[in-house]
Amino acid sequence: MADKFTVGLLTSGGDAPGMNAAIRAVVRTALTNNMNVIGVRHGYEGLINGEFTPMDARSVGGILQRGGTILLTSRSKRFQEPAGQRDAIRKMNEAGMDALIVIGGEGSMNGAYALSQKGVKVIGMPGSIDNDIWGTNISIGTDTAMNTIMEAVDKLRDTASSHQRAFVIETMGRNSGYLAVMAGIVCGAEMVLIPEVPVTGEEVATAVEYAYQRGKTHAIIINAEGSAISTTDLVEKIDTLDLGFKTRMTILGHIQRGGSPTAYDRLLASRMGVKAVEALVEGQHGVMTGLKGKGVDFIPLLDVITNKRKVNMEYYHMAKVLAR
Signed CA dihedral, 176, 177, 180, 186: sign only: negative
d(CA 295, CA 298): 10
Q: Strands across the sheet with 287-292, in order?
A: 52-55, 35-40, 5-11, 99-104, 122-126, 287-292, 295-300
Beta bridge pairs of residue 52:
40
What does the alpha-carbon distance between residue 39 and residue 55 come to, in Å, rounded to a whole number? 6
| Residue 212 CB neighbour total at 10 angstroms | 17
Strands (E), the chain: 5-11, 35-40, 52-55, 99-104, 122-126, 165-171, 191-193, 219-224, 246-251, 287-292, 295-300
DSSP state of 219: E
Which one of 130, 132, 143, 265 is the catalytic residue? Answer: 130
The contacts found for 90-94 with CB under 8 angstroms, 24 or more apart, are 91/47, 91/48, 91/49, 91/50, 91/52, 92/8, 92/47, 92/120, 94/50
Known catalytic membership, residue 130: yes
Catalytic center residues:
130
